[in-house]
Every structure is written in structure tokens, then in C-alpha cells.
Chain A
Amino acid sequence: MGFLDQFWQLSVDGLMVGSLYAVIALGYTLVYGVLQLINFAHSEVFMLGSFGGLFAARALLPGDGSVPGGAGSIALVAVGLGAGAACGGLAAFTLERVAYRPLRRRAAPRLAYLISAIGASLFAVNLAGKEFGRQNVDLPDLFHNGTVFRLFGAAVSTQTLVIFAVAVAMLVGLDRLVAGTRLGQGIRAVAQDADTAVLMGVNVERIIIVTFVVGGLLAGAGGFLYAMTFNASYSMGFVPGVKAFTAAVLGGIGNVRGAMLGGLLLGLVESYGGYLFQASYKDVIAFGVLVAILMIRPSGLLGERLGRAA
């Protein structure tokens, strides 16, 4: 029953959670790359996306409690992801319009954004609690969940596989978006030097809003994936939000690939740490590792700068 016997199983567990952290972390990193500010209300974008996806998928489930299979399952997951992403994107858009843009117009100090975000976060959390109730909400199984295959003896369930696959697909997609498209070029240009970008004809306001929305789409879809395993609730955003932010910093904030690496690493550290020590110390271990890594590499594992991601 030693640690080594469970090593692979813990790795699978850690990678699943870590991939979710990575998806959320991207929202922090993108916004940081473009605006150099920590979007503290991103966790609520995640929460709202989670509810949106959950409610949409639940509405389409057969009411008799049976588990759909095959094409039905795929369709349900797709609908959930789409609805989650849509809600997340909308929430991020609204957030930017209400809590950030007015501040940018009056050249507010950087910390004012932080406080505005904390206010928006309090508002969104408690309003969601009021509208959707304060209970955790379960999403019934959308597919038959069982062990698909074993990896060095570690069971990999359908759920784990779906979450990991979708998360990785989104991560790769975003990486391509930032590295290879015209939009990504614009984002990178603003991240490197906003003033010059303006002179080169980049519409910075548009890039900012698009960045928020892209981050929101990812967080919303990630929220749906999260709700599939971990239920949804009005206060669900805070902890994964802090973890994802940590992951973003760990990898080098502003760096897209860094956020991915940071997320997966954080998931693994938590999983191993929770097994080796009392589980209640797993956050202590996670933060300890973060501090240690920053001591050695003061700007994160892969360094900062969105521009360098490609």
C-alpha cells in the first residue's frame, strides 16, 4: 500500500484535476498578458459557466433517470460544453464592460481593478446563490461511467478520459489560436507593447474584449467539465480560482504554455501530497512548492510574456 503502488493512480487523478486548473488558468494568463492585471472575478465566470452547462445538459436528459449512451451522450456533453462556454463568455464580456472598462477609461490605478473585481465577484457569487439556491447541484451521469483502460494498473474512467481529452483539446486549440491566427497576432502584439500595437493599427479595445471572452469561453466549458464530476454551487469558484491563478503564476504568468504546465503540475503535486501526508495539508504542500519554485525561478517555470508563447 505504499506510495509507489498508488503512484500511477494518483498521477491519473492529479492530471485530471490539473487539466481543469490549466483551462481556468488560461483565462488569468490571457488577461494578464494583455492588461497586466489579475482578473480576480474570473472564478465567477467559471462558476456561471458551470451552472449554464449543467442546467442545459440537465434539461435535455431523459427524465426517468436512465443514463443515455452513444450518440446521445456525445450530444449531451457537447451541449453542456457549448452552453457552459456561452455562459462563461457572456459573463466575461459583461464583467469586462461593467467592472473593468469604465475604470480603464478613467485611467484608474491598477489596484482599483482588483477591488472592482472583488466587488463583482461578491455580487455574482451571492446573486447566483439567490437565484439557484445555496445547495450543491448534482449533474446526473451523461454517459456510462466505467473503467476504459488501465495505465500501469491505474484505472482510467470514462469521465476522466472525457475531461482530460476535452481539456487538452481546448488547450491545444488556444495555443494554436494565439500562435497561428491573425487574432492571436493581435493579442500578442498588445501583450508585447500596447502603444506600438495601436500605431500598427491594432484595435486594442477589441483585442481586450476578445481576450476576456476567449478566457470566459474556456472557463465556462471548463466549469461544465468540473460540474460533471464535482457538482456545481454558487461558492464553487473561489478555490479553483485561487488554484488556477497559482498555476498561472507557477508556469509564468502571461505565458499560455506556462499556464498549462503549471496547472498539470499543481494537480499532480496536490494528488501526491494529499496521499503522502494528511490530506488537509495538501494545499499547504501545493503553496509550499509554489514558493520554492518561485525562489529558484522568479518569473515562473517558463517565464512570462504572452508574446513568447509562440
Chain B
Amino acid sequence: MRRRPFVGAVALAAVVALSATACGSSGGGSSSGKETITIGFQGVLSGDNQQLGLNALYGIRTAVSEVNADASSPFELKLVESDDGGSPDQGPTAAQKLIDNSKVVAVVGPMFSGATKASEPAYTQAGLLSVSPSATNPSLTKLGFRTFYRVIAPDTVQGKAAADYLSDVLKARKVFSLDDKSDYGTGLSAALEAELKARGVALTHDGINPTKDYTSEATKIIAAAPDVLYYSGYYAELALLSKALKEKGFTGKIVSGDGSLDPQYVAQAGKAAAEGTYLTCPCGDANSDPNAAAFVASFKKVNNGAKPGTYSGEAYDATMALADVFKKLGKGADRESVLKAFGSVNLQGITKTVTFEPSGEVKGSNVFIYQVKNGSISVLGNTANLIRS
């Protein structure tokens, strides 16, 4: 049979191009005559970590739809998304896309510390406010980025509180600190270990890049016989680690940080393996907090039944804080005035009260302890109170 490459190529290219445009034109808002304010989102929407990006994006969409549904709100929000794949390579391009769009007056993001370091010089040059829901590297607020704010406490806050809890409440004498070798994981484990060392707790440190196979790591942990294993990393890997540890009959306690505070942890580890795990977080958890029930309900409604996950609440709070600033500024909200006004925001959010230090650091975060009980994550209380009682 003779081949017809040229015609075929053209036809296929046409199909691809058509289907690309067919779904590119999704979205679009209602026109109610209100002023429209555009905000941007820079985050991880492709690659291995895209679920974290979607969590945040859904949180922002929830906030946007709540603001737009509010009849008393003098403006409507419009969201522009920009994907940086969580990597520094694509960070500047993603940031520049939002900067180029002159309608964007503020940005929620970037999400990962690496992408933040790569993107923030451009934001600072353009004077465009960026509020990160998830970049926890302690150094970020010390690098001279005047446009950088975050609604999440840096690793140091959580690491110290977690260490206090481990030694005072869980009475751990021997801790196995495992991190996932990511920017987030190493930062958290370093802070935790510094405090544990200061308290004279025996420590074993190990790092393991995110993987699926934690069988031999579980053997290693059990051989070290710690009272507590603290995992600095994300829920998907903690779930696999918990499964492996359970299969091998680990008897110590498993504790992890805010990256694992996600109902998906229980879903992926299975109820039996997840039961009893402690989670620390400098945040309120929307799914277990009765005050956040309205947020969870509207989140599900906006996002096809998806439940809030890691960073959803932070992204929602960041967006609401922006909306609060827009409300105060009234008509004249532009990049400059938003950037100037954002530092004095004071808003009761889902995860915490959002107020800022001059450096862009969120003020006085309480670290809460959660535990998996009967297959769901429930709050035990704030570390300071738990230690006192």
C-alpha cells in the first residue's frame, strides 16, 4: 500500500490544533457591570507535584467564586493561571507571563521555594505583589524580595514546636528523623533536629528521595528502634512509608509535618496503617475544624466534589486577604497600591489569622497537633497548650 505522508500529517496536525483550541476557550465570567479585578496564580500545574498545585488552585477558585457570588462585593475577581512546573527553569517565564498581563494586580504563588527564588526577582522588579501559600524555606523573606509575602509559617517555626511536642508530650528519648531530600523536607528536618539536639534527645538522621519502595527503609528504621519517627515530606510518600512500617510491625509513633496533613494520607496508606499517626502543622485544618465547614462545603461545590488538601486552605486565605485589600482600596486598586496596603492586612482566615511582619512573614503562627483517629484526621490542640497541660 502506498503511503500518503504529507496529507496525513496535515490532517493530524489539524485535529491536534482544533482540539487544542476547542478546550482552550474554557472559562469566561459573567458580566454584571461590576469592576473586574484580575489576580494571577503561579504554581505547580504540571509534572510530578501537580496535585499540590491543583489543591492550591482549587482553594483560590473557591475564594474567587465566593467573592463573585457575594452581592455586596463591589468588584468581581478574575483568575489567570500560570504553570511553573514547580521548577526554577520555568519560574521566570511563568512569572513574566503574569507580569506582562497589565490587568493582574496581585499574584497568589509561587508555590515551591525553588521556583520562588527564581521568579521573585522579576516580581520585585515589576512591583507585583506575590503571596505564597506554600513556600516555607526560612531564607525566602531574607533575600530582599520586597514583593514577597507568605501565609504559611517557615519551617523553623514548625520544626521547633514539633521537637518540643515530641520530647515533652510524647516523651521521645530516641527519634529517627527522615526527610525526603527536598527543599521543604531538609529545611523542616534541620529545624527539628536542631531543637531535639538542644534538648539532648538521641537522634538518627536519614534522607531518602521520594520513591515508592520503602521496604528496606522500614527495615532500617525498625533496626534503629526509635520511640518516634518524624518524616519531613509529603503525604504520598508518608502513606507508602506507613504501609511498609506497618507490614513490618513497627511499634513506635509516626509523626509528620504540614506536607502530610491531607485526607489523602489516610486514603493512600489505608486506615489501618495510618491510624495513630500524629501530624504537626502551623495551620488550622479545614477538614476537621467545625468553623471551616462552610469553606469545605463551598470548596466541594466549586471543584466537582474534590476535598480540600494540603495548601488548599492557605491558598484560599491568601486570595481572601487580597480580596480584603481590594475592598479597602476601592476603585484605585493597582499593583502599587495593593503592594503598599497588603502588609497591614488583618483577616481571620481558615488556617490562621492573617497578619504580617514587615518582612512578609506571617505573624505568630500557632502550631497545631493532629492525629489520625478512626480513619480521619482530628485536631488535638495547639502545641503550647498541649505541652502545658
Q: Mark A118-144, 1 if CB is under 8 A from B, else 0.
A: 000000000001000111111011000
B239's partner among A1, A231, A239 (CB-CB below 8 A) is A231
B208/A157 in contact, CB under 8 A: no
B220's partner among A105, A106, A133, A279 (CB-CB below 8 A) is A279
Known: A105-B3, A159-B247, A279-B206. A65 touches B215 (CB 8 A): no
Q: Given the complex of chains A and B, what is the CA–CA distance between A69 and B355 in angstroms?
A: 55
A10/B216 in contact, CB under 8 A: yes
| Contact-residue size bin, chain B (C-beta under 8 Å from the other chain) | 35 or more
B243's partner among A137, A229, A271, A274 (CB-CB below 8 A) is A229
B216/A271 in contact, CB under 8 A: yes
Question: Is the C-beta of A13 less than 8 angstroms from some C-beta in chain B?
Answer: yes
| Shortest distance between the CB of A133 and any CB in chain B (Å) | 8
A135/B51 in contact, CB under 8 A: yes
Q: Mark A239-274, 1 if CB is under 8 A from B, else 0.
A: 110000000000000000000000000000011001
Query: Which chain B residues border A16 with CB–CB below 8 Å?
Result: 215
Query: Which chain A residues border B208 with CB–CB below 8 Å?
Result: 274, 278-280, 282
B268/A275 in contact, CB under 8 A: no
Question: Is the C-beta of B240 less than 8 angstroms from some C-beta in chain A?
Answer: yes
Q: Given the complex of chains A and B, what is the CA–CA distance between A271 and B211 in angstroms?
A: 13
Question: Is the C-beta of A17 less than 8 angstroms from some C-beta in chain B?
Answer: yes
Contact residues of B between 181 and 233, Cβ < 8 Å to A? 181, 206-209, 211-213, 215-217, 219-220, 223-225
B223's partner among A5, A17, A229 (CB-CB below 8 A) is A5
A279/B217 in contact, CB under 8 A: yes
- Chain B interface helix/strand/loop/mixed: helix
Query: Which chain B residues border A282 with CB–CB below 8 Å?
Result: 208
Query: Which chain B residues border A270 with CB–CB below 8 Å?
Result: 213, 216
Known: A16-B215, A157-B247, A235-B48. A134 touches B223 (CB 8 A): no
Q: Mark B3-16, 1 if CB is under 8 A from A, else 0.
A: 10100000000000
Question: Is the C-beta of B267 less than 8 angstroms from some C-beta in chain A?
Answer: yes
Query: Which chain B residues border A1 with CB–CB below 8 Å?
Result: 223-225
Q: Given the complex of chains A and B, what is the CA–CA distance between A135 and B213 in angstroms?
A: 17
Query: Which chain B residues border A138 with CB–CB below 8 Å?
Result: 239, 267-270
Closest chain B residue to A17, Cβ basis: B213
Q: In this complex, which of B223, B224, B244 has the most chain A Cβ atoms within 10 angstroms of its Cβ?
A: B223
Closest chain A residue to B205, Cβ basis: A278
Known: A65-B271, A135-B264, A137-B268. A239 touches B219 (CB 8 A): no
| Shortest distance between the CB of A163 and any CB in chain B (Å) | 11
Question: Is the C-beta of B340 less than 8 angstroms from some C-beta in chain A?
Answer: no
Question: Is the C-beta of B248 less than 8 angstroms from some C-beta in chain A?
Answer: yes
Query: Which chain A residues border B243 with CB–CB below 8 Å?
Result: 229, 231
- Chain A interface helix/strand/loop/mixed: helix
Closest chain B residue to A65, Cβ basis: B271
Contact residues of B between 1 and 49, Cβ < 8 Å to A? 3, 5, 48
Question: Is the C-beta of A174 less than 8 angstroms from some C-beta in chain B?
Answer: no
A231/B220 in contact, CB under 8 A: no
- How many residues from A make CB contacts under 8 Å with B? 44
Question: Is the C-beta of A283 less than 8 angstroms from some C-beta in chain B?
Answer: yes
B50/A129 in contact, CB under 8 A: yes
Number of residue pairs A-B, CB distance < 8 angstroms: 98
Query: Which chain A residues border B140 with CB–CB below 8 Å?
Result: none
Closest chain A residue to B220, Cβ basis: A275
Closest chain B residue to A157, Cβ basis: B247
A13/B215 in contact, CB under 8 A: yes
Q: Given the complex of chains A and B, what is the CA–CA distance between A61 and B58 in angstroms?
A: 31
Known: A135-B236, A136-B236, A231-B268. A278 touches B207 (CB 8 A): yes
Query: Which chain B residues border A159 with CB–CB below 8 Å?
Result: 247
Question: Is the C-beta of B54 less than 8 angstroms from some C-beta in chain A?
Answer: yes
B209/A283 in contact, CB under 8 A: yes
Closest chain B residue to A240, Cβ basis: B212
A136/B239 in contact, CB under 8 A: yes
Question: Is the C-beta of A300 less than 8 angstroms from some C-beta in chain B?
Answer: no
Q: In this complex, which of B3, B212, B236, B264 has the most chain A Cβ atoms within 10 angstroms of its Cβ?
A: B212
A275/B216 in contact, CB under 8 A: yes
Question: Is the C-beta of A36 less than 8 angstroms from some C-beta in chain B?
Answer: no
Contact residues of B between 245 and 274, Cβ < 8 Å to A? 247-249, 264, 267-272
A14/B216 in contact, CB under 8 A: yes
Query: Which chain A residues border B248 with CB–CB below 8 Å?
Result: 155, 157
Closest chain B residue to A129, Cβ basis: B50
Query: Which chain B residues border A271 with CB–CB below 8 Å?
Result: 215-216
Q: Mark B259-292, 1 if CB is under 8 A from A, else 0.
A: 0000010011111100000000000000000000
A230/B240 in contact, CB under 8 A: yes
Q: Which 7 residue pairs spanning A and B have beta carbons closest together?
A: A279-B208, A230-B212, A271-B216, A13-B215, A134-B51, A280-B207, A13-B216
9 additional A-B residue pairs with CB within 8 Å, beyond A141-B272, A231-B268: A138-B268, A145-B247, A159-B247, A231-B240, A235-B48, A239-B212, A275-B220, A278-B206, A279-B208
A-B contact pairs, 23 of them (CB 8 A): A1-B224, A5-B223, A6-B220, A10-B219, A16-B215, A17-B213, A105-B3, A129-B50, A135-B236, A136-B239, A147-B249, A159-B247, A229-B215, A229-B243, A230-B213, A231-B239, A231-B268, A233-B236, A274-B220, A278-B207, A278-B208, A279-B206, A279-B216
